[in-house]
Amino acid sequence: MARAVSRRELDSRIVIVGCGIAGLAAAQRLLHQGFGSVQILEASGRSGGRIWSQGFARGLVEIGAQWIHGPSKQNAIFQLASQHDLLDEEAMSEENQALQIDGHPPNVSTYYSSSGRRIEPEIAAPVEELYSALSLKSREFFQSKTEPVRSLGEFLKLEIARCAEEWKDDEEMCNLKLALLNVEFKLECCISGTDSLDLVALQPFGEYVLLPGIDCVFPGGFKSLIDAMMKSLPKDVVSYNKPVKCIHWNGSFKASDAQEHSYSVLVECEDGETIPADHVIVTVPLGFLKEHYRTFIRPPLPASKINSIQKLGFGTNNKIFLEFEEPFWDPESQLIRLVWEDESPLLSARPDLQKEWFRKIFGFIVLQPVERHGHVLLAVLAGEEANFMESLSDSEVKNCLMQVIRRFTGNPAIPLPKSIVRSKWYSDQHIRGSYSYTAVGSSGDDIDIIAQPLPLPATKAQPLQVLFAGEATHRTFYSTTHGALESGRREADRLNNHYLPVTSMNAKI
């Protein structure tokens, strides 16, 4: 179909800030639509952003995004990965795509407790089921438009206290059940990328859409998708190690080659270079925006956008990979959960960060299959403890985790791991955390406000200048790679539609 956008408009100069999956998706879509001048500026030395597969042990590990959450037809990452034939047979099966798992994949879990004993599945499984039921219940407030309390944490604690009153067990068993529930809280903190569930707003929690399909991974690493996307783009489209300092908009800037045309936006890089542009698509993480919104965009962002940037949550979820010579765990175990017997979600005391940061680790994920990875365990932890962990050395982290493993398994002879690698997302000055969540006081409206382009309000008469994409701009898939991918395409389409004459837009409808 012949497109109705004129040659002049297709020559518009478009700069994309950030080469994560949102930036790549925007570039791919714009070039496909016929826009000829697209440049991506990336602060780091690689593409992918929070998608980062690294060589470790026998294979690759994911420092950032790991799973396709809900791999099914509605998932844009799944679609793209399928087109490039990057997934294995199991992930592609219709059966896998149809299963609704409500965000908590079924794993074969082994439970170890802080007194060095195993907890029987007969005790642990009903507690897991209770938590899943409460978690689903907490999503219902989005539909009802009323909320009994403000945070997810408060709601879950009230429900747990109510259930606990009806337990007929002795005190020791009740405490064990509460300790098991506390593991679920820590896991939920990792899923939401938050320090505490008390920070997560209850009402919007259910607006995040859970897609069907059992979460799957990329056999060749998540980077295989980034590589495939990069191959589809012109070779020199990305400028690496090119951090942007400030985006000046609402101006009238001339290019240094003294062209007739004047540009409304000027991108100022940290190295002093200035790049005039007709449009800029900003895909930097919310963590970066929170820290730099005052100086990153001039004239300053409208108050509504600043308010939403401040209110929306952005926390840390960090990973620690340990490679062992031999496994000490059961071969069939997919998840080893660590149960601190003195903990309960109903107790508010926080452990001393320096002495007990490792208590925030909910357990270890066993990387499978062993032929692809070797004997590798992945510990995950969120929040302040995850930030603190970044300040420690590799050997401090390794030693702490070994003390925990030896104590919980009751086996002081387990040898130290051969190697360690871990993420430090909070220290990355261009990321500053892991992903967004709707914090208490915020809602999906804040996500939409952050996504609004400048100038506000956008009209056909006023050309779009600065557009916003990235995971934190997707109202129902925030915090995910599929949300980020869709947001990049959305902003490319916004630009394209902006240029379409009204008559051809009507024809499209």
Q: Which of 14, 15, 43, 225 binds ligand 6YU (CB under 6 A)?
A: 43
The tokens for 295 are 């100086």
Count of residues interacting with ligand 6YU (CB under 6 A): 44
Tell me the torsion sign for CA atoms 346, 348, 352, 357: positive
16 lies in the binding site for ligand 6YU (CB under 6 A): no
CB of 258 to ligand 6YU, least distance (A): 27
110 lies in the binding site for ligand 6YU (CB under 6 A): no
Burial of 355 (0-12, 13-18, 19+ CB in 10 A): exposed
Distances (CA, A) of 121 to 110, 125, 441: 8, 5, 38
470 lies in the binding site for ligand 6YU (CB under 6 A): yes
Q: Which stretch binds ligand 6YU (CB under 6 A): 12-20, 30-38, 349-357, 442-450?
A: 12-20
CB of 163 to ligand 6YU, least distance (A): 21
Taking the least distance from each CB to ligand 6YU, the nearer of 276 and 409 is 276
362 lies in the binding site for ligand 6YU (CB under 6 A): no
19 lies in the binding site for ligand 6YU (CB under 6 A): yes
435 lies in the binding site for ligand 6YU (CB under 6 A): yes
CB of 277 to ligand 6YU, least distance (A): 14
**Where does 112-166 have alpha helices with state H?**
121-138, 141-144, 152-166
Q: Which positions from 449 through 468 interact with ligand 6YU, judged by CB under 6 A?
A: none
Q: Which of 385, 446, 471, 491 binds ligand 6YU (CB under 6 A)?
A: 471
CA dist., res. 439 & res. 45, Å (int): 32
Q: Which of 26, 30, 65, 127 binds ligand 6YU (CB under 6 A)?
A: 65
Residue type, position 139, single letter: R
3-state secondary structure of 162: helix
DSSP state letter for 420: E
CB of 442 to ligand 6YU, least distance (A): 13
Residue labelled with tokens 């995910």: 480
3-state secondary structure of 41: strand
Burial of 107 (0-12, 13-18, 19+ CB in 10 A): middle
The tokens for 426 are 């909070």
CA dist., res. 331 & res. 21, Å (int): 35
Distances (CA, A) of 23 to 163, 354, 466, 489: 47, 38, 14, 9
CA dist., res. 134 & res. 137, Å (int): 5
Taking the least distance from each CB to ligand 6YU, the nearer of 48 and 345 is 48
CA dist., res. 228 & res. 85, Å (int): 10
103 lies in the binding site for ligand 6YU (CB under 6 A): yes
Taking the least distance from each CB to ligand 6YU, the nearer of 288 and 358 is 288
* Site mask for ligand 6YU (CB under 6 A), range 262-301, x = bound: ---------------------xxx--x-------------
42 lies in the binding site for ligand 6YU (CB under 6 A): yes
484 lies in the binding site for ligand 6YU (CB under 6 A): yes
CA dist., res. 264 & res. 141, Å (int): 44
3-state secondary structure of 118: strand
CB of 431 to ligand 6YU, least distance (A): 6
Taking the least distance from each CB to ligand 6YU, the nearer of 5 and 190 is 190
Q: Which stretch binds ligand 6YU (CB under 6 A): 49-57, 109-117, 385-393, 406-414?
A: 49-57
CB of 184 to ligand 6YU, least distance (A): 13
CB of 174 to ligand 6YU, least distance (A): 28
Residue type, position 394, single letter: D
Q: Are 266 and 276 in contact (CB under 8 A)?
A: yes
61 lies in the binding site for ligand 6YU (CB under 6 A): no
Beta carbons within 8 Å of 504's beta carbon, 6+ residues apart: 4
Residue type, position 170, single letter: D
Q: Which positions from 365 through 424 interact with ligand 6YU, judged by CB under 6 A?
A: 423
Strands (E), 354-502: 363-366, 375-382, 419-422, 435-437, 466-468
22 lies in the binding site for ligand 6YU (CB under 6 A): yes
The percent helix, strand, coil of the chain (3-state, each to 5) is 40, 20, 40
Distances (CA, A) of 226 to 43, 46, 91: 17, 10, 19
CB of 105 to ligand 6YU, least distance (A): 11
Q: Which of 18, 70, 204, 363 binds ligand 6YU (CB under 6 A)?
A: 18
Q: Which of 191, 226, 338, 386 binds ligand 6YU (CB under 6 A)?
A: 191
Taking the least distance from each CB to ligand 6YU, the nearer of 5 and 183 is 183
The tokens for 216 are 């799957």
Binding stretches for ligand 6YU (CB under 6 A) = 17-23, 41-44, 49-51, 64-67, 69, 103, 191-192, 205, 208, 243-244, 283-285, 288, 317, 319, 423, 425, 430-431, 434-435, 470-471, 479-481, 484
